Amino acid sequence: MLRKLVSGLIGLLLLAAPFAHTFEPTTQKVTDNVYAIIGELDQRSADNQGLNNTTGFIITADGVRLSSAIGGKPEDLQVEYASETFEGDEKP
């Protein structure tokens, strides 16, 4: 009985997996050393991690400077996607 229940639950999870929505922001080059992280146009939600705006970042000799068009602090935003694209001298 327990084996059938566990098998059924696993089957349901496997069937539901394609319908799960995972949001990944896109990174777009604006000009040399200036990039934008484009968020969703929908309302803030757990799926989009509250990122429904565009956040900019500028690459300088001293590092990367983040800017946010909304009142939130840039460090509160999920920007790992963009920052992970840097490998050595590579740019997103």
Residue 45: is its pLDDT beyond 50? yes
**Angle at Cα 42 formed by Cα 13 and Cα 48, nearest 5°?**
50
21 pLDDT band, cuts 50/70/90, is: low
35 pLDDT band, cuts 50/70/90, is: confident
- Which stretches of the chain are assigned E, i.e. beta strand? 26-31, 34-38, 54-60, 63-68
- Is 15 within a domain? no
Residue 39: is its pLDDT beyond 80? no
- Is 3 within a domain? no
Range of the domain at 29: 22-92
- Is 30 within a domain? yes
- Is 8 within a domain? no
- Is 10 within a domain? no
- Is 79 within a domain? yes
Average pLDDT score over residue span 24-39: 82
The model's pLDDT over 8-17, given as tens digits with 9 standing for 90+, comes to 556 555 555 5
Helices in 1-92 by DSSP H: which ranges? 2-16, 80-83
Domain count, the chain: 1
- Is 89 within a domain? yes
Q: How far is CA 50 from CA 45, 74, 88, in A?
A: 5, 12, 29
- Is 60 within a domain? yes
